[in-house]
Amino acid sequence: DGGITQSPKYLFRKEGQNVTLSCEQNLNHDAMYWYRQDPGQGLRLIYYSQIVNDFQKGDIAEGYSVSREKKESFPLTVTSAQKNPTAFYLCASTQQGGGTEAFFGQGTRLTVV
Amino acid sequence: KQEVTQIPAALSVPEGENLVLNCSFTDSAIYNLQWFRQDPGKGLTSLLLIQSSQREQTSGRLNASLDKSSGRSTLYIAASQPGDSATYLCAVDYTGTASKLTFGTGTRLQVTL
């Protein structure tokens, strides 16, 4: 079945540690996105990539980094510079171009311990 | 600033009732609007995508309408069931390129027996 796979489902980070969240899609979509979800707030865009080897900052990129070396993969690293990383992280993808449907993974819940 | 608002934040209805969820957006120059369902601790599931040129879309018991001039979309759920209990999110694509979405904060729906 085509879809988006995020791993791990749960992740715990110690203070000062970098962690990487995985996102893989087999939908052959060109564009991929990372959103952060906090209670009582709408999803906020962290980074997005429209094509391999290119990505742009979203609304809340500080303390995060990404790479897009393969079309199907868009990993997100939460660095120690992110002061409040505890949240639910969602990866999404769309076909290139406007008017296309967005598909989401099942999310990764990151907790600072 | 382009914003998306969903009111009410929570709604409880008895099983079998027809209901309407509301989504308002501040800028009428949209490319499309998408409705999602989110179960607790899960990712987003796409329900309906309405292009800017369309007035409504239907899927089973769900019907979504779009009125760009008034900046509103509604999601109509017919004959509600306990399995419909979830949070419903609307998202607007203002860019028309890689579908960077602006999300509302959602309406949490509970359908009671």
Q: What is the CA radius of gyration of chain B?
A: 13
Residues on chain B bordering chain A, Cβ-to-Cβ distance under 8 angstroms:
4, 31-32, 34, 36, 41-46, 49, 51-52, 89, 91, 93, 95-106
Reported confidence tier of residue A96, pLDDT bands at 50, 70, 90: confident
Structure tokens at A102: 């967005």
Amino acid identity for residue A6 in this structure: Q
CA angle A96, A98, A102 (to 5 degrees): 70
Phi, psi of B83 (to 5 degrees): -70, -10
Chain A positions contacting chain B at CB under 8 Å are 4, 6, 30-31, 33, 35, 40-43, 45, 48, 50, 58, 88, 90, 92, 94, 96-107, 109
CB contact set of A72 (below 8 Å; sequence gap of 6+) = A24, A25, A26
Give the whole-angstrom CA distance, residue A37 versus residue A45: 9
Among all residues of chain B, which has the CA nearest to that of A98? B96
What integer pLDDT is reported at residue A6 of this predicted model? Answer: 98
Tell me phi and psi for residue A25, to 5 degrees: -130, 145
Q: Which of B41, B98, B103 is closest, CB to CB, to A50? A: B98
> pLDDT band at A110, cuts 50/70/90?
very high
The mean pLDDT of B72-97, rounded to a whole number, is 93
- Is residue A8 a contact partner of residue A95, using CB atoms and an 8 Å limit? no
Give percent helix, percent strand, percent coil of chain A, each to the nearest 5.
0, 50, 50
Yes or no, beta carbons of A107 and B49 under 8 Å apart: no
**Residue B97: strand pairing partners:** none
Structure tokens at B18: 């027809």
A103 closest CA partner among A20, A53, A31: A31
pLDDT for res B34: 95
- In tens, the pLDDT along A8-33 reads 999 998 988 999 999 999 999 999 99
Cβ contact, residue pair A43, B46, below 8 Å? no
| B105 with A41: Cβ contact below 8 A | yes
Confidence grade of residue A97 (pLDDT, cut at 50, 70, 90): low
d(CA A42, CA B35) in angstroms, rounded, equals: 13
Band of pLDDT at residue A62, cut at 50, 70 and 90: very high
Please say whether the beta carbons of B1 and B21 come within 8 A.
Answer: no
